[in-house]
């Protein structure tokens, strides 16, 4: 049976599934329930500095995007960091860690961008015997207006500076949580690495407004007739998160930097994809808030069963396996040619492939053949774009079939070449022509 135990920065947990810093990890009651359900670790909801607690709104805190079946696809959140007393949190953290020594317990922190503020809070967290700290440089609302959260994460120099302060003043592993609200996530990752961070976690939430109420003309969630931007999370952000995780994993300047992945993880498959892209652990929030803590049972069983089926003995067998296969567009093989094939036995004749191709693509799928309703690929027009595969409601009905080297591409009238060729050497590339000269 596959061994899915995790050892991330020396922080051991029975599985790589952690709850992210968020409402589900705001107090001992929630965290204890999570550990009983089987979660491998948690990142405690972000603590602030000593003094009057942060004040949250007393009305709706979430906006949402739903699918046609009302399945939650995205969640917008305007809640801030913990509004509970610092010392109450610290006492609970210490007790929970004592009760659950085999689980990972990392504490998220956000204090003003001043060295003394960080020096003050670090020993308080150390005393709890937590496994590590996560620096919240990602929160895009409320706290950023106060010079914290993403206001720090968007300035690489600040990131490096604060990470360095923390590394100089604590024995605990430091995980730097990055904001996605930035042009190039590699820059703050490099800065954190330069400052000595032990790992990065990403992504935090994305700046967003999910809806406008067309009766009141106010953004939702609405507080007394007004609304604000918030942080967007959930399944809809997964592609963005995977891209950013892969960018850091394959960046030569951050090579080998451990990553804890966050962003839309709902199933074991989501987790496996992030692990394959280079993450060592995965953090979950929206899925737990949607389906409850017991969703981790399916994640654990699913990951274990898949690893057994594929012959992967440990997490190390899959972590980073996909990273070498992520490349820039200019290096994709332009001699690789595919054509769509429709399985007539599986086709339900709904016509979605035809409409999508006819109206928005390359007019490469018939609607009628010999007077009968029949959907066939016109190879002379098919560019292999696979839009039809993605709109077809029947899994496996349409597949993309590679043309073998030496065969005829009916669209171009040319023989498919066997050798690899990319844009950097293509005759239509002006830069390639200059280089050739």
Euclidean distance between CA atoms 68 and 72, whole angstroms: 10
Question: Could you give the dihedral angle defined by the CA atoms of residues 391, 397, 400 and 402, in that order, rounded to the nearest 10 degrees?
Answer: -170
E strands, 146-288, in order: 174-177, 199-202, 206-208, 211-213, 218-220, 230-233, 259-262, 281-284
Rg (CA), the chain: 25
For the chain, how many residues are written? 437
Euclidean distance between CA atoms 257 and 288, whole angstroms: 27
- 118 contacts 103 by C-beta, under 8 angstroms: no
From the candidates 139, 233, 388, 392, which is the catalytic residue? Answer: 139
Number of H helices, E strands in the chain: 13, 22
- 233 contacts 286 by C-beta, under 8 angstroms: yes
- 382 contacts 362 by C-beta, under 8 angstroms: yes
- 69 contacts 107 by C-beta, under 8 angstroms: no
**Is 139 annotated in the active site?**
yes
Tell me the catalytic residues.
139
């Amino acid at each position: 049976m596959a061994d899915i135990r995790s050892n991330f920065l020396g922080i051991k947990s029975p599985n790589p599934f952690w709850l992210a810093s968020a409402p589900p990890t705001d107090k001992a009651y929630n965290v204890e329930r999570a550990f009983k359900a089987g979660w491998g670790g948690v990142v405690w909801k972000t603590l602030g500095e000593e003094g009057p607690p942060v004040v949250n709104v007393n009305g709706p805190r979430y906006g949402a995007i739903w699918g046609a079946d009302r399945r939650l696809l995205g969640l917008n959140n305007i809640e801030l960091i913990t509004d509970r007393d610092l010392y109450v949190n610290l006492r609970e953290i210490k007790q929970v860690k004592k009760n659950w020594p085999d689980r990972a317990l990392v504490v998220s922190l956000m204090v003003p961008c001043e060295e003394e503020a960080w020096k003050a809070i670090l020993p308080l967290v150390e005393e709890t015997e937590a496994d590590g700290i996560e620096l919240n440089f990602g929160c895009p609302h409320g706290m950023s207006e106060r010079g914290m959260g993403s206001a720090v994460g968007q300035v690489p120099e600040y990131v490096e500076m604060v990470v360095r302060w923390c590394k100089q003043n604590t024995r605990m592993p430091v995980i730097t949580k990055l904001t996605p609200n930035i042009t190039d996530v590699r820059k703050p990752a490099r800065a954190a690495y330069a400052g000595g961070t032990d790992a990065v976690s990403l992504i935090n939430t994305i700046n967003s407004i999910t809806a406008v109420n067309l009766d009141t003309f106010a953004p939702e969630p609405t507080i007394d007739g007004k609304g604000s931007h918030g942080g967007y999370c959930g399944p809809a952000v997964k592609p963005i998160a995977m891209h950013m995780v892969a960018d850091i994993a394959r960046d030569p300047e951050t090579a080998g930097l451990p990553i804890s992945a966050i962003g839309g993880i709902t199933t074991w498959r989501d987790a496996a994809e992030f692990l394959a892209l280079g993450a060592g652990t995965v953090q979950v929030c929206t899925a737990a808030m949607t389906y409850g803590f017991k969703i981790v049972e399916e994640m654990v069983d699913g990951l274990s069963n898949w690893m057994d089926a594929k012959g992967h003995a440990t997490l190390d067998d899959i972590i980073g396996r996909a990273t070498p296969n992520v490349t820039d567009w200019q290096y994709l093989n332009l001699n690789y040619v595919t054509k769509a094939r429709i399985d007539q036995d599986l086709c339900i004749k709904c016509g979605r492939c035809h409409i999508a191709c006819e109206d928005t693509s390359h007019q490469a799928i018939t609607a009628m053949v010999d007077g009968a309703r029949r959907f066939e690929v016109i190879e002379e027009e098919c560019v292999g774009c696979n839009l039809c595969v993605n709109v077809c409601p029947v899994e496996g009905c349409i597949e993309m079939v590679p043309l073998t080297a030496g065969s005829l591409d009916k669209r171009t009238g040319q023989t498919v070449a066997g050798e690899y060729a990319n844009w950097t050497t293509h005759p239509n590339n002006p830069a390639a022509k200059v280089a050739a000269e």
